[in-house]
Structure 1
Amino acid sequence: MNGRTALVTGGSRGIGAATALRLARAGADVAITYVTDREAAEDVVRKVEAAGRRGVALRADSGDAAEAADAVPRAADALGGGRLDMLVNNAGVGVVGPLEELTAADVDRVLAVNVRGVFLASRAAAARMGPGGRIVTIGSCLTQR
């Protein structure tokens, strides 16, 4: 991964943070997105930098169409002069509760982040990737429960 650039959505905690750190330890410069916890995102960036790589935290809500698409060029410009080698679609949300209590807004938010945001970020990333570029999408088994 030396010399490669990566964007990990939802990279401020959990699987996203672990993925960002693993990519940095493998030699990639890494941008992450976060929505609310700037401090956690900056902590991940510090760890990326401690691994000897460049790190960037970008506030971007994957459920917002403009922000989901715009995070890719922002990351690519910050890390690689406009090039992105890998996108990890990790941002995701879920709504837990009895079906009769869920609202249309709950469903809209889940679809906006977990489906539309993945599509928009992937489309934007594909336009910035050269040969060997990769798009990885993290999923959840929660839907099986």
Structure 2
Amino acid sequence: MSNPSLPLSGKRALVTGGARGIGAAIALKLAQDGADVALTYENSAEKAEAIAADIRALGRKAVAIKADAGSVPGGQTAVDETVAALGGLDILVNNAGTARVGAFAEQSLEDIELVLNVNIRGVLLTTQAALKHVPDGGRIITIGSNVGQQVPFGGLTV
């Protein structure tokens, strides 16, 4: 149901990492402003479904999508399922991110690859997939971290 008095009425949004934290808050705010929202999760199915239920309670469409933000098909899956469920995509919020705690010299190759795949590769691939659908006037927003500039505690690998 569209409400022309809301600033995002009729818009369709995808929020990666939208099941908890900042992503959940962004997903809810987009819905409060009139958007239908898809949100991705990897391991937080119950939290994702709870956020989707909160969005539906606002009278908006919502879908929770299981997608690995660090895998090659993850971004494409998220975009494809968003378009199928919501009928299009106007707003992409790249929010999914990860970090590993511990001395960098002791990080495994798997940990380093995970951080790079989620925080960089996943953003690029999801954006690339979304560009085929986001119309002129749409928005692509990428949430980053300043942890690389100001580490909040010792032993954090970004």
Once the two structures are aligned, what percentage of the paired residues are identical? 50
Deviation at 1:100?
A: 2.2
**Residue 88 of structure 1 corresponds to which residue in structure 2?**
93
Confirm or deny that 1:118 pairs with 2:123: yes
**Amino acid of the structure 1 residue aligned with 2:59:** G
1:43 alignment partner in structure 2: 50
Q: Give the one of 128, 135, 143 matched to 2:140.
A: 135
CA deviation vs aligned residue, 1:43-83 (integer Å, no higher than 9, x gap) = 00011111110100000011111122221011111012xx2
Match of 1:98 among 94, 103, 113: 103
The one-letter code matched in structure 2 to 1:15 is I
Is 2:65 the counterpart of 1:58? yes
| Structure 1 vs Structure 2 CA RMSD | 0.8
Provide the secondary structure at the position in 2 that maps to 1:113: helix
Letter of the 1:48 partner, please give it: I
2:73 alignment partner AA? A
Q: Which amino acid aligns with 1:120?
A: L
> Hey, what's the Cα distance between the residues in 1 that align with 2:94 and 2:31?
17
Write out aligned runs for 1:72-83 (5 A): 72-80=79-87, 83=88
Residue identity matched to 1:88: V
Residue from 17, 24, 29 that aligns with 1:17: 24
- 3-state secondary structure, aligned to 1:17: helix
- Runs of 4 or more off by more than 4 Å in structure 1? none
Higher helix share: 1
Q: What SS does the aligned partner of 2:136 have?
A: coil
SS at match of 2:98: coil
Structure whose alpha-carbon radius of gyration is higher: 2
Shift, 1:16, TM fit = 0.3
Question: For residue 70 of structure 1, what is the aligned residue in structure 2?
Answer: 77
Distance 2:64 2:50 in 1: 9
SS at match of 2:22: helix
Aligned residues: 143
- Output the TM-score relative to the length of structure 2: 0.88
TM-score, normalised on structure 1?
0.96
What letter matches 1:59 in structure 2? Answer: K
